[in-house]
């Protein structure tokens, strides 16, 4: 191949990483706040890094056991790229978490100078992670590809780079599930005892689970979300490289080597667009006249426009095929529309239905939330299907992969705006715990609310990109395993489709149970401390925060391995019992119900959450009313759905697809 | 064709119908009970027949508007078979309901002589419907086929018989949704005001919605369930005729005309097996030593054995291909295993999880029920997939249709045991309202509990048969519309798969909302009567039952047309926007999530219901405890899922498939 333009990607990756480090430096230059703020922040830092260390130890161990299998049944090069994938992904997680847990008290302190100052600090902290994920992913994948191309000889770079994909999925599934269980066990444990049994407010320092809850925001919402999008990015990019190999342009001409370069140029261009978008937001946040959500919107919009303009230029002048541009942009537009649909169902008219149904108690609240959640998936999936069909129209199967790239073309901004929500949430907790003036909490609450909207957007992008990436991987798998026609009337394909259709259900069920069990332990511990520590409820004694962090940590780590083994093991079982066609069917079924359930859980959970917030803002009798109680129950039901099981489904779908693809040569060797 | 054996089917149908009428005669010979019992029963009869009349008027109107379309865009013969399908299905509904609403007080009266006497009466009443559905279906389909074969000339009997299928689906979707909304609106309305607000017991005559609730048991659980299984039977039989046309036997030899006769002989044999099974149960119910559930099990088991033996003889000696026997039996075994799995998740260990989680309130009760419901689908769908693969192994695509026939081979028994549950439920209500000795209520409660188990079995059989029938219809559609390969990597197929995957979600959401709205109106009315009728709460005045029946009726009829139009209209939209391949994909996606959601909703609802019953029997502090309150909330959430949305999904899947098949010639003509 040897196309010179290929080196642009790793260079862009390095520059993006440098920008990320620069952002980290400027963020840390802000004051960490008063001694008390810094003290609480330190406790959160310690809890988070202890959890991450223990989690990485488990991951490392499993990775070390798993890697030799890759080397033995596939080849040693795949093992090498696997470790590169693991390292790049783990590193972006460490960078993101380290800065996020140090930005929280800095945001609290900055909130004294107003909303815009707080936004600037919180957003910069989140952007560190955004740029780190985007840059390390681009650098890792393009670097790996170039390395194997340069050394030449036996391994075709495209055939070994699937190892990188498995590595990234590996980290993602552990971090997403682990973080998800941690955060919801702590959150539910804190609420069920603190709010419900003792009637003390959220983030009250007397609640032993309160630090664990704060740590959870970081390990779940920051690190978990980052890992999720990191994997989507990795899988999308790698599948576009694989499909690019034999891709045809609009005129039917084989695009050849350039079709491999195109996706890498698009993501390099995305690094530039994200950098500019971040700088625009930072610049605008000094103008206090402009509303905070408009600032974020302006940043995302300009990033999208810059990205699209760049893609157009690359498609027209380098590739000589504007169809590729339309494929990428149809992906971007699909992501935006799915995001807007999510916003509609979780913030607008539909949640009125939930708010009104709180009047007749928790049962009707739950029922109406389920109805809203179910309905919310319809437009999203339809738009997704149409977007993929349009992308396919412009560039065939390659176009589907490109649509995925398009969905992630403003990834840097997406992650940045996602990550600042939990930072603002943490900042609010620190304000409460350090006894700041209530107006500081008001500022961080406003930021948190804005962050919720952008986070819902991010989830929609992640689910859409998952669909595009998984479909591309399905195609790549069937080529690698040399399966012929995959007719849905073929009973093996249909059998796979039915079994794949319930795989996300099994996975969700396991994850939801794990959260319940861990939360139960947390409830017992918080109750015990209130009973056994004299003077705790009166505020005269300090609870043992560390024990709660430890319980959440052990709860999360203890429930990690089972769902991961399921995701990794199921392709082998299916392929050796029912054949290669059944595995393709399983992937398709898993995509359909996986994306459906992910959207359903995210949106139902979001809708309950926001219905509760509307009531807390005074509707239906406000806080303390029976309607409020019903809405709190709705929110609690939604918690493990929207923050643990739902987002983990994206990763399940991609991990199953990645494992199938990576081991396709083995299946081919054994089954012929 | 002209195979003489074909006439066996309509003869068996006529004999079955005669047996059904004989059962009706013996049932009605029992005493209708005391004057007060008969009085209440009459109120239920009036309510049910008024509802059915008004519902049939709506159906008739829509059918009259729809039929000319069939005649115009297809041909007049299809319109004729459509009306035959409508009439046969409507008639079996009328027969079943008429007898069920007259058996209730007879069962109450018989309960004075003990459990076994009550079983005999209630079961005979249910069996009328079981035999009517089975016999009218067999008679209608085989009669229509023979008629068009005899008149010869233009219309190929196989190409016009799809009209019958649409007719049956038409009736089914209206009756299932209408009955489902009616019963749950009345049930939730009665409970939310009576039990929760005024603390009066279930079935208390002071509650204005109590008669509506009783009527609901009949129009929802008797007529709705019968319509559901009637449609499954129709679609399965017709699809097996269609696939039989070109079927190959084990040796690859074309089975020819005989493969059309085989399914008809199997169902004729099923009429015999059901008749014997019913007689065995009636005989055993005079032996008071034998436990009631063992009596039912013995009847079902002998029916299954007789049916299988008959199928074996037909396959071996008439068809000369025992592979066909194995295909049928793999279906029967699949149905049984799915049923046992349902029983496990809704009655055994898993509901312990829900019972224990009631301790921490409604939120954890709901969460654990969701987890149980999700997990319960996994084994069922896997068994279903394997069963279809095995059936396919023995007889190809024809085998899948035969597996469906196998699942319904003990249909007569399934419906009979399903229908006697609501009859017993009604009998209990009448005992309560007429102030009988509490031991009579105990007898009917025991019968009701047994009925719940068999009803869960019935739902599992219905969902399994839906999958088999819909897959066969999908194959028949793609042949009729002359679509070539349906590769899941084809973006049109995949797009259809994604959109089809959310169709059941949209449908469920609409149905759940309708129940909520109707229930809300009911709540207002019951509250109003307690407030405005002087002396009502003290038992000195009689509530206005009719108004509540009327509210439930209007609530149900007002929400019928939208979901039905959706099911009928969506194939046209998809096929003309995205093409014939996309419609095939849509069917497949609809099957996957439709069956998944149907099983999930039925099982989660059943598990919550039974968890509540365990607590009411004394666990976790028994009635009145906080745990009990949480379990009531769980049960209420499950109500619209398990009794309205879930069962309607079976019909949605089949209606979409039937419409696609019937209009395939039109699609072919327009799109080529």
Q: Contact B491/A585, CB-based, under 8 Å?
A: no
Strand pairing partners for A254? A248
Among candidates B400, B493, B637 on the partner chain, residue whose Cβ is nearest the Cβ of A491? B400
Q: Is the Cβ–Cβ distance between B611 and B355 less than 8 Å?
A: yes
Highest mean pLDDT among A186-195, A285-294, A447-456, B307-316: B307-316
Q: Average pLDDT for residues A583-596, to the nearest whole number?
A: 96
- Residue B605 distance to chain A (closest CA, Å): 12
User: B192-241, pLDDT tens digit by residue?
Assistant: 888 777 878 888 888 889 999 999 989 988 888 888 888 989 999 998 98
Confidence tier at A204 by pLDDT (50, 70, 90): confident
A649 to chain B, any CB pair closer than 8 A? The answer is: no
Residue A381 contacts B where some CB pair is shorter than 8 Å: yes
CB proximity A584 to B under 8 Å: yes
Question: Each residue of A77-114: pLDDT tens digit?
Answer: 999 999 999 999 999 889 989 999 999 999 999 999 99
Q: Which residues on chain B are in Cβ contact (under 8 Å) with A503?
A: 378
Q: Tell whether the model's pLDDT for residue A425 goes beyond 50.
A: yes
Q: How many CB pairs under 8 A join A and B?
A: 226
| pLDDT-derived band at B246, boundaries 50, 70, 90 | low
Can you tell me which residue has the tokens 């291909």?
Answer: B321
Burial tier of B293 (Cβ tally within 10 Å: 0-12, 13-18, 19+): middle
Residue B1 banded pLDDT, cuts 50, 70, 90: very low
Q: What Cα–Cα distance (Å) separates residue A527 from each residue in A211, A469, A531, A532, A586? A: 16, 45, 6, 9, 45
B327 interface with A at CB cutoff 8 Å: no
B381 and A640 within 8 Å at the Cβ level: the answer is no
Enter the tokens of residue B114: 């003990």
d(CA A281, CA A295): 6
pLDDT of residue A456: 73
Contact A402, A265 (CB under 8 A): no
Taking a C-beta distance cutoff of 8 angstroms, is the pair A564, A466 a contact? no
Surface of B (155-214) touching A: CB under 8 A: 192, 196
Which residues does residue B487 pair with via DSSP β-bridges, in sequence order?
A487
Nearest residue to A373 via CA among A340, A335, A338, A346 = A346
Q: Does A633 lie at the interface with B, CB-CB under 8 angstroms?
A: yes
Q: What is the pLDDT of residue B26?
A: 94
Using a CB–CB cutoff of 8 Å, tell me whether A495 touches chain B.
Answer: yes
| Interface contact A520, partner B, CB < 8 A | yes
3-state secondary structure A546-559: HHHHHHHHHHHHHC
pLDDT confidence of A548, banded at 50, 70, 90?
A: very high
In contact, A66 and A199? CB cutoff 8 Å? no
> Pick from B649, B648, B614: which is nearest to B632 by CA?
B614
Distance CA A569, CA A576 (A): 11
Is B402's Cβ below 8 Å from some Cβ in A?
no
Is B517 near chain A, with CB under 8 Å?
no
Best CA proximity match to A386, nearest among A430, A424, A334, A434? A334
Cross-chain Cβ contact A592/B589 below 8 Å: yes
Does B363 contact A633 at a Cβ distance shorter than 8 Å?
A: yes
Question: Rounded to an integer, what is the distance from CA A14 to the centroid of its chain?
Answer: 23
Tell me, yes or no, if A476 comes closer than 8 A to chain B by beta carbon.
Answer: no
Dihedral through CA B521, CA B525, CA B527, CA B532, nearest 10? 150
Q: Which of A265-269, A532-536, B400-404 has the lowest mean pLDDT?
A: A532-536
> What integer pLDDT is reported at residue B565 of this predicted model?
87
Nearest by CB to B596, from A475, A495, A502: name it. A502
Judged by DSSP in three states, B248 sits in: strand
Interface residue B357 vs chain A (CB under 8 A): yes
Chain A closest-CA separation from residue B87 CA (Å):
33
Query: Measured between CA atoms, how close is B389 to chain A, in angstroms?
Result: 6
User: B588 to chain A: which residues are within 8 Å by CB?
Assistant: 488, 494, 497
Q: How confident is the model at residue A251 (pLDDT cuts 50, 70, 90)?
A: very low
CA distances to A72, A237, A282, A328, B169 from A663, rounded to whole Å, are 11, 19, 45, 29, 45
Scan for tokens 């003792």, then name that residue.
Answer: A198
Share of chain A residues as helix, strand and coil, in percent rounded to the nearest 5? 85, 0, 15
Does B592 contact A589 at a Cβ distance shorter than 8 Å?
yes
A593 touches B: beta carbon within 8 Å: yes
Contact between chains at B592 and A501 (C-beta distance less than 8 A): yes
In whole angstroms, give the CA distance from residue B224 to residue B172.
7
Q: What percent of chain A has pLDDT over 90?
A: 59
pLDDT category, A480, cuts 50, 70, 90? confident
Strand, helix or coil at A254? strand
Select from A584, A593, A600 the Cβ nearest to the Cβ of B488. Answer: A584
Q: For residue B4, count other CB atoms closer than 10 A to its CB.
A: 7
* pLDDT in the model for residue B421: 85
- Is A392 in CB contact (< 8 Å) with chain B? yes
CA–CA dist A129, B55 (Å, integer):
60
Count CA within 13 A, CB hemisphere, residue A91. 18
**Alpha-carbon gap: B357 to the closest alpha carbon of chain A (Å):** 9
Please, are residues A193 and A527 in contact by the beta-carbon 8 Å criterion?
A: yes
| Among the partner residues B378, B501, B516, nearest to A592 by beta-carbon distance | B501
Contact B633 A363 (CB under 8 A): yes
In a mutational test of the B interface, the residue from A476, A481, A494, A521 whose CB has the highest number of chain B CBs within 10 Å is A494
Which is more confident, A615 or A457?
Answer: A615
Return the residue of B nearest to A471 by Cα: B489
pLDDT of A250 reads: 46
The minimal CB distance from B593 to the residues A503, A510, A596 is found for: A596
Q: Which residue has the tokens 């959401």?
A: B509
> Cβ distance B118 to B439 under 8 Å?
no
Q: Does A349 touch chain B (CB under 8 A)?
A: no
Q: Which two tokens stand for residue A393?
A: 């129209």
Residue B254 scores a pLDDT above 70: no
Please give the pLDDT value at position B455.
77
């Amino acid at each position: 191949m040897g196309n010179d333009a290929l080196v642009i990607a790793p260079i862009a990756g390095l520059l993006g990483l440098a920008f990320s480090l620069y952002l980290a430096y400027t963020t840390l230059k802000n004051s960490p706040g008063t001694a008390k703020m810094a003290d609480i922040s330190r406790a959160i830092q310690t809890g988070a890094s202890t959890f991450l260390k223990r989690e990485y130890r488990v991951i490392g161990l499993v990775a070390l056991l798993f890697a030799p299998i890759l080397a033995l049944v596939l080849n040693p090069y795949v093992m090498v790229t696997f470790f590169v994938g693991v390292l790049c992904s783990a590193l972006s997680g460490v960078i993101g978490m380290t800065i996020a847990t140090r930005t929280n008290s800095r945001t609290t302190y900055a909130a004294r100078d107003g909303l815009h100052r707080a936004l600037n600090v919180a957003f910069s902290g989140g952007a560190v992670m955004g740029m780190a994920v985007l840059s390390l992913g681009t650098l890792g994948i393009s670097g790996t590809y170039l390395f194997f191309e340069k050394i030449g000889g036996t391994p075709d770079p495209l055939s070994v780079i699937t190892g990188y994909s498995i590595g990234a999925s590996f980290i993602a599934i552990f971090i997403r599930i682990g973080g998800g269980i941690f955060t919801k066990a702590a959150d539910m444990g804190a609420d069920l005892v603190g709010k419900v049994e003792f009637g003390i407010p959220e983030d009250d320092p007397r609640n032993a689970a309160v630090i664990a809850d704060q740590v959870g925001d970081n390990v779940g919402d920051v690190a978990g979300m980052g890992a999720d999008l990191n994997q989507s990015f990795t899988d999308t990019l790698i599948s576009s490289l694989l499909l690019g190999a034999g891709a045809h342009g609009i005129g039917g001409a084989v695009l050849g080597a350039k079709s491999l370069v195109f996706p890498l140029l698009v993501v390099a261009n995305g690094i530039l667009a994200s950098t500019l978008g971040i700088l625009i937001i930072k610049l605008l946040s000094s103008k206090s006249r402009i509303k905070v959500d408009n600032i974020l919107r302006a940043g995302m919009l300009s990033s999208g426009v810059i990205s699209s303009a760049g893609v157009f230029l690359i498609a027209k002048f380098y590739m000589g095929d504007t169809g590729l541009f339309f494929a990428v942009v149809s992906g971007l537009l699909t992501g935006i529309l799915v995001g807007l649909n999510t916003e509609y169902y979780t913030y607008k008219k539909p949640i009125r239905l939930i708010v009104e149904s709180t009047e007749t108690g928790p049962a009707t609240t739950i029922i109406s939330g389920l109805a809203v959640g179910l309905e919310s998936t319809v437009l999203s999936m339809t738009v997704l299907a149409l977007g993929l069909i349009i992308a396919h129209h412009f560039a065939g199967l390659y176009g589907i992969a490109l649509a995925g790239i398009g969905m992630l073309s403003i990834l840097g901004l997406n992650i940045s705006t996602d990550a600042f929500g939990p930072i603002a949430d943490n900042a609010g907790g620190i304000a409460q715990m350090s006894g700041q003036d209530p107006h500081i909490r008001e500022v961080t609450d406003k930021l948190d609310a804005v962050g919720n909207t952008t986070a819902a957007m991010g989830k929609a992008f992640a689910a859409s990109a998952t669909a595009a990436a998984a479909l591309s991987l399905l195609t790549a798998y069937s080529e690698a395993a040399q399966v012929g026609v995959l007719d849905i009337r073929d009973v093996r394909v249909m059998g796979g489709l039915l079994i794949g259709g319930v795989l996300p259900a099994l996975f969700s069920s396991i994850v939801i149970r794990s959260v319940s069990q861990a939360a139960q332990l947390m409830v017992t511990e918080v109750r015990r401390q209130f009973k056994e520590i004299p003077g705790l409820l009166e505020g005269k004694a300090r609870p043992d925060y560390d024990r709660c962090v430890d319980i959440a940590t052990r709860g999360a780590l203890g429930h990690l391995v089972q769902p991961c083994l399921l995701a990794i093991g199921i392709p082998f079982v299916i392929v050796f019992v029912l054949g290669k066609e059944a595995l393709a069917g399983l992937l398709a079924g898993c995509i359909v119900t996986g994306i459906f359930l992910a959207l359903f859980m995210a949106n139902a959970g979001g809708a309950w959450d926001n219905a509760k917030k509307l009531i807390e803002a005074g509707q239906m009798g406000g806080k303390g009313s029976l309607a409020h109680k019903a809405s709190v129950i709705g929110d609690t039901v939604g918690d493990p759905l929207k923050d643990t099981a739902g987002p983990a489904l994206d990763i399940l779908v991609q991990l199953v697809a990645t494992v199938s693809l990576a081991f396709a040569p083995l299946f081919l060797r054994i089954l012929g």
